[in-house]
Chain A
């Protein structure tokens, strides 16, 4: 009996090597909310699904958890097909956006619920719940009801409740979006720490690129139900696969113009009176194009890709200033400056050619 239970509460946790989503799609009426998502998640990996609201990232997570049936495709945990199983048979741990703590159970009962459902012996439940409470540092609150806890503490209970069942994969649905800015940073580190300590594969849904980049081993950027790019944070940040990903990665300066000269990966980009040397992203010829630049890559001073302009608004950000300036040709750009800049200052800026990303039209 004990060994049967022992096997059950570690659903392939030890042997699990890969979670595979194979062309997973979900349709709501006429809307294809998730369109053929394929993804392999290896043991211990932290994956972030990143995108604006309505991009299909939560749909993907709910499909994984079993809360939404797939329209097509399949999900595999190694050789075991799990998309045909009910959520209670999948044994994945899920953390909900509003935490979904059971309001009538105290912290200890909430955390032990999954173990009780697995008919784990009472003394083992007690031991494992104590361990989980220790891990999320809630020793002083074990007997309280969720309504008596702060948002951050509730979040910790939700995390402990999901990890105590030792699931092969932990799913998190925008877990930090209900917290204030300070607590969000704190819990972000906490999630990172717990992930490093336990090494459980995690799928994390968020619309906050900073959260995704700081937490994840790999990020899946989604838009309109389609995965736009899957890669490590550095790649996404430096080399977005397309314009949509670039916009989501904080490339705030968007210039519509033309490419009139191409030499290998170097292009010459024209926009109004501005001519910039840029890096060609993908295959395209001369013609209409879009260039994107991140604000922190436009720096004051002389250099290649010289841009002159007059500062309009200046926001102090502590470490530096965020400056909106209008070029002599009339384009409005966002830049960052460590030196103090005053509105009205006429300054010279520059940006390295490899940081001007140029995408072809269409």
Chain B
């Protein structure tokens, strides 16, 4: 009877299949989020805005926002900037494309902690990288690439690039190569083929790739702690939240930091996706009706 009523109201029983998924989202995302939001407005002392006021008054909090962006934005741009030319170069399915994509999947599966540990050894003062440069007489003393900004940035590039590359590659292979050929017969050289054909058709996909890569980079925690200088130059916002929660035992403040982190990410994502509206979104084939 219920099924009949559902059908009459324009639904059918298959709609019920979304229940487990919806339940999952509500219990593991919406509820904790709402709980955190509520908690952030219930500070240890002061009015409901006290945590937020504290965040933007105290340098040890508000500086983390800038530091996070200062790491995450360059990392995202580098990843995207490297991914686009490589994906363009490898857009035709060849054995080279398969080899490269397989190689790039490896860092994704390793996870950030393992990559950070590896980089600590490889890039450290006694690591291969410094020894090689020293033996080649390119440097007099070790170059510092760990426990500072560069270590974190490098680790974000290594873990984030494959992800950006694979996404970009899938967008580029969706563009009919005949379009670029047509542009070339009309007088467009490689640079203008990219500017007028590939880029505009790729832009919506690049926006999505940017957002995903950026969100991934903003939540940098393990490499900022392991490879960076978590007390200073790489004290990112997630470290501030962690310290508030597990060193100061101020869950309310930690929630406020997390909310601010979320809002900051959301602002960038909304801005980038908004830009997407300026570009064509639709099938990128040779346009056969």
What is A's interface to B at a CB cutoff of 8 Å? 65-67, 86-88, 90-94, 96, 98-104, 113-114, 117-118, 145-147, 149-151, 154, 161-162, 165, 171, 178
Contact = CB atoms under 8 A, between A and B. Distances in A.
Question: Which 5 A-B pairs have CB atoms at the shortest separation, nearest pair first?
Answer: A104-B280, A114-B186, A117-B187, A98-B286, A100-B182
A162 B181 CA distance: 13
Contacts of B189: 86, 88
Contacts of B181: 65, 67, 87, 94, 96, 100
B185 A147 contact: no
Q: Interface residue tally of chain B, by bracket?
A: 20 to 34
Given A67-B181, A98-B288, A146-B287, A103 B280 contact: yes
24 contacts: A65-B185, A67-B181, A67-B184, A86-B184, A88-B187, A90-B185, A96-B178, A98-B178, A98-B287, A99-B287, A99-B288, A100-B178, A103-B287, A104-B279, A113-B196, A117-B183, A145-B282, A150-B289, A151-B288, A154-B288, A154-B289, A165-B186, A165-B187, A171-B185
A94 B182 contact: yes
B187 A91 contact: yes
Nearest to B286: A98
Q: How would you classify the secondary structure of chain A's contact residues: helix, strand, loop or mixed?
A: loop
A235 B279 CA distance: 53
B284 interface: yes
B186 A161 contact: yes
Contacts of B186: 88, 93, 113-114, 117, 161, 165
Contacts of B289: 147, 149-151, 154
A103 B197 CA distance: 9
B179 interface: yes
Q: How would you classify the secondary structure of chain B's contact residues: helix, strand, loop or mixed?
A: loop
Contacts of A92: 185
B66 interface: no
Contact of A101 (B187, B200, B201, B286): B286
Given A94-B181, A99-B287, A154-B289, 12 more contacts: A87-B181, A88-B184, A96-B182, A99-B288, A101-B286, A102-B197, A103-B283, A104-B282, A117-B187, A150-B289, A154-B287, A171-B185
A93 B184 CA distance: 10
A68 B187 CA distance: 16
A99 B280 contact: no
Contacts of B185: 65-67, 87-88, 90, 92-94, 162, 171
